[in-house]
Amino acid sequence: MIMEIKNRILNRLKENREYWTSGEDLSITLNLTRTAVWKHIQSLRNEGYVIESSSKKGYRLMKIPDVLTSAEILDGLATKTFGKTGFYYMEEAGSTNQEAAALAENGAPEGTVVIADHQSRGRGRKQRNWFSPPGTGIYISLVLKPPITPAEAPRITLLAAVAGAETLRHLTGLDISIKWPNDLLVNGKKISGILTEMSAGMDAVNHIIVGIGINVNTSNESLPDEIRDIATSARAETGSVHSRSSIVRSLLEYFELYYDLFLRGEFHKILTRWKELSGIIGRKIQVDGINSRISGTVLDVNDDGVLILKDGEGVIHRVFSGDVILPR
């Protein structure tokens, strides 16, 4: 409730950005005391909004911070479902995937979105950590409840990679490619990763959580030593700061577009785009599994995201998981 009133004050200031909005106007239209208005203004200032005040003229919004709150993300979000059926913003989460899974188990509908400004235990694939500092990255998880079998679930990860790549290509102008299975790379370095987690029975999916991490305004120097040579951010690559909230909105819109295609039985279109963006078909690569290393030429990536590889002796391998090493 408090949130709602604060957002209504914010919307009024946004509509009236060219002018001053009097405290009286706000208190009458929102049915609040002048002191209550002032408290909400203070709380908006604490979130980073720069609001000038004058005892004669009232309030004026001077600067909108790049925050990922519902007030900023839902303002102008052109989706039907994603972010609209449920939206949770947390300044700090352990892991947004974990939060989203708990919500899904308690009945949160498809399209529910969880975003954190900072994660204290951000999770990556293969039990790795995901570096999640405040104010510079995007850490987002989506709740899906598709009517599919568990065997079809890997397609969702391929779909998420295409949505992420298209978003970053459009909003940053960077030449983003996909590295199998679902890393997003630019100039050979990782800018984004996807962690899909599923809860399922024998033949039906209960829910799927798609977690996406994007390094947006992270500076190169702030990256931990162990990933500095292999990771990058939109800012490090373009030299300019990017709006995290615009990227989140676009990501949700692209995701919904591809997810609808998938549900309509048109996954082949997404896979075609995945292959274009990965450029992996026909390349000689090496894949490191837990206890194995296979080198060979990529023949295909099938509907389930399985890598089909032909080694030097002509033996065909079906690779389900691993780390791809691309020769220079």
Q: Binding of ligand BTN at residue 215 (CB under 6 A)?
A: no
DSSP designation for 240: S
Q: Which is nearer to ligand BTN, 21 or 196 (CB)?
A: 196
Q: Which is nearer to ligand BTN, 21 or 119 (CB)?
A: 119
Query: Of 172-191, which residues contact ligand BTN (CB under 6 A)?
Result: 183
Q: Which of 23, 181, 193, 305 binds ligand BTN (CB under 6 A)?
A: 193
Q: Which of 80, 128, 228, 293 binds ligand BTN (CB under 6 A)?
A: 128
CB of 286 to ligand BTN, least distance (A): 19
Q: Judge contact between 132 and 122, C-beta under 8 A.
A: yes
Q: Is the dihedral of CA 279, 282, 286, 287 positive or negative?
A: positive
CA–CA dist 201, 153 (Å, integer): 13
Q: Which of 23, 83, 154, 213 binds ligand BTN (CB under 6 A)?
A: 213
Residue 203, SS3 per DSSP: coil
Residues in the chain: 328
Give the relative orientation of helices 244-263 and 154-172 as an angle to the nearest 10 degrees: 140
Q: Binding of ligand BTN at residue 130 (CB under 6 A)?
A: yes
Q: Binding of ligand BTN at residue 125 (CB under 6 A)?
A: yes
Stretch touching ligand BTN by CB under 6 A, among 81-89, 123-131, 240-248, 281-289: 123-131
Residue 166, SS3 per DSSP: helix
Q: Binding of ligand BTN at residue 96 (CB under 6 A)?
A: yes
Binding footprint of ligand BTN on the chain (CB under 6 A): 95-97, 119, 122-125, 128, 130, 139-141, 183, 193-195, 211-213
